[in-house]
Structure 1
Amino acid sequence: MGNLYRVTPEDMAEAALEAAWDGGLRYYDTAPHYGMGLSERRLGAMLSTRPREEFVLSSKVGRRIVPNPGGGAGDDLDHSFAVPDATRRVWDMSADGVRRSIEESLERLGLDRLDVVYLHDPEEGPEDQGLDEAIPALVALREQGVVSAIGVGSKSDLTLARFVATGALDLVMISGRYTLLEQPAARELLPLCQEHGTSAVAVSVYNSGILASDSPSPDSSYEYGRVPREVWERAVALAETCREHGVSLPEAATHFPLRHPAIVNVTLGMRSPEQVASNLSRMQAQIPDELWEAIDAMGGDRAL
């Protein structure tokens, strides 16, 4: 919804969100970072017409969107979003920055509250400020009833483990670190989640593209860049194993994270109503136990 890599036309975005709601999806995740607030504005336009008690909404703090002096003629593709550069991101994990970011998100969304707030990619910014200021601020907001749950979202399982160890979080959002392809989060992070009663949401379960097709291409995307040969070969082997059991690679990738007891949700990015329909179909697929046994036999706890 934030024009990741290329423009998503307005009518396509609206149709995708309508299809998601009509398909029964009731958890929606966004962030100021996604398209300089475009994702929040588009999502809010749909959700503001729905009964507030019928959906769960999360957004993120850590990056605030501010005016960009002299901007407007360029784009934000250096950060992977096809939007004008009239605004820019600034890191702000201070207590005041957290509160202001939430207020600004609610204004863009046109809603009166967020259910879940994640600290977004703290390892890419002032991580210690995230620990020392942002998390205590989020805890206070939870205690005040401003938000129902707090968490951290990151591509780094080690960063997430550091935050989970504080015992302050309700949940974490794990990006790409517990997937059919690789599971480094199984070493330290997910056991810590179980120890502290912290739930986990799995995102980037297709590893940014390599697992999104039943026939992985060497030109696929991995970690938002070119796929290394050994990663592609692993994905091809997984696809062949899935095919032998009558399951597509994306179907297996969608279901795989939910095998772990700490993971309560898989969240998928969707650009069009066709992608919504495809993901709903994948989620309804029946995965035979024999496939999981075959995949487990290929080796576990991989970190490529």
Structure 2
Amino acid sequence: MALDFGRLGFGAAAIGNLYRAIPDADARAVIDQAWAAGLRYFDTAPHYGFGLSEKRLGAALAEIDPHRRAIISTKVGRRLDPTLDADLSQARQGFVSPEPYESRFDYSYDAVMRSYEASRGRLRRDCIDILYVHDIGRFAHGDAHEARMREFLDGGFRAMEELRRTGAVRAIGLGVNETAVCEEILAHADIDLILLAGRYTLLEQAPLDSLLPLCAARGVRIILGGPFNSGILAQGVRHGGPVHYDYGDPPASIVDRVRRIEEQCDRFGVPLGAAALQFPLAHPVVASVIPGIGTTAHLRSAIAQMAQPVPAGFWLALRDEGLIDARAPVPAGMAA
């Protein structure tokens, strides 16, 4: 599987109207500008706006990418059920979408096959490059985890393997927010990729213990989603406004850790967001970082942060202060 993702990819949840409505023209503008800037990897899902993100991405790429050079990933594991009485002007499951659906978890064989076909239609593609199973694991399902895992391994995963074997998709993997389920799946299944959101970041390096070595041994690559840990690594903690970590309010220990990282950012003249985007890419199994991008301003910021020079001394200072794991590879920065 030879897929060149590029260091920076496009997380397309926001163009599915995550938390707020975005006009079609604005969503199209950010996709167009991402393409013009050289981004070639786009990640979406049926859940993102109940098909809206896939529709917008598919319509844009049909025009600007007629030769199908973009790498597109989408997800299975949630089916879209019609909703007859919902107020489509209000947020549903986090999305303010005009699409008259809501999503329900379903990891069965038939649901995965139907989901793939529906996504293919919305994305206007004969085939889809990458198919991730969406939010399998205890983080999403709690006490229902074992039943959901059986449903997936006995049904949905069989469908994904079949799609890969027949060439309908080029690669299969997981799209999750936790590490434990990744290791559980790797013990039972042959996957190519893991889209891991928020778990190997400037704030968190626990996957160095076992998941990342296991991926290296198995030849599984990581796509790193959520590099800002729900925003706290994008805005910092010293501005006085609300901050979010892991989809909620940050504990005091996390706030203190970010504050200390910001002090080193000030010392070396490094934007916090630049450090957050660039850090994960130093690990050899991390193929790309995909922040959520919903506006042209977000896009320009991410591109600038990715290009921001970061002195080697900054990473050494973070290690010396115990702010990153001493085992973590760091980017090859400028001379201190």
Return 5+ residue gaps in structure 1 as ranges.
none
Matched with 2:116 is: 102
1:49-88, aligned counterparts within 5 Å? Answer: 49=63, 50-68=65-83, 70-74=84-88, 77-84=91-98, 86-88=100-102
Question: For each residue in 1:109-167, what CA deviation from the matched residue of structure 2 results, as whole angstroms up to 9, or x when unmatched?
Answer: 22221100000001235123223322222112111111000000100111112112335
Residues 217/163 of structure 1: CA separation in 2 closer, same or farther (3 Å cut): farther
Partners of 2:188 and 2:89 lie apart in 1 by 39
Matched with 2:230 is: 208
Partners of 2:149 and 2:92 lie apart in 1 by 22
Secondary structure in 1 matching 2:196: strand
Matched pairs, number: 301
Matched with 1:151 is: 173
Q: Which of the residues 175, 186, 189 maps onto 1:164?
A: 186
Matched with 1:225 is: 248
Residues 107-116 or 38-47, more deviating: 107-116
Matched with 2:164 is: 142
Mapped pair 1:254 → 2:268: no
Give the CA deviation at 1:210. Answer: 0.2
Matched with 2:308 is: 285
Q: Give, as a single letter, the amino acid of the residue that structure 1 aligns with 2:156.
A: A
Matched with 2:130 is: 116
Give the CA deviation at 1:214. Answer: 5.1
1:155–1:175 CA contact under 8 A, matched in 2? yes
Give the CA deviation at 1:94. Answer: 1.2
Partners of 1:164 and 1:84 lie apart in 2 by 38
Partners of 1:259 and 1:145 lie apart in 2 by 31
Question: For each residue in 1:48-97, what CA deviation from the matched residue of structure 2 results, as whole angstroms up to 9, or x when unmatched?
Answer: 111343110000000011212x3232556352111247312121111111
Secondary structure in 1 matching 2:38: coil
Give the CA deviation at 1:246. Answer: 1.6
Q: Give, as a single letter, the amino acid of the residue that structure 2 aligns with 1:239.
A: E
Partners of 2:202 and 2:311 lie apart in 1 by 15
Partners of 1:78 and 1:110 lie apart in 2 by 26
Residues 84/228 of structure 1: CA separation in 2 closer, same or farther (3 Å cut): farther
Give the CA deviation at 1:233. Answer: 1.4
Identity of aligned residues (%): 38
Q: TM-score, normalised by structure 1?
A: 0.93
1:157–1:189 CA contact under 8 A, matched in 2? yes
Partners of 1:155 and 1:102 lie apart in 2 by 22
Partners of 1:166 and 1:301 lie apart in 2 by 29
Give the CA deviation at 1:216. Answer: 4.7
Secondary structure in 2 matching 1:166: coil
The RMSD of aligned alpha carbons is 1.8
Q: Which of the residues 9, 12, 17 maps onto 2:31?
A: 17
Return 5+ residue gaps in structure 2 as ranges.
1-14, 142-147, 327-336
Partners of 1:12 and 1:212 lie apart in 2 by 22
Give the CA deviation at 1:191. Answer: 1.3
Residues 217/210 of structure 1: CA separation in 2 closer, same or farther (3 Å cut): farther
Matched with 1:26 is: 40
1:42-53, aligned counterparts within 5 Å? Answer: 42-49=56-63, 50-53=65-68
Q: TM-score, normalised by structure 2?
A: 0.85
Partners of 1:105 and 1:140 lie apart in 2 by 17
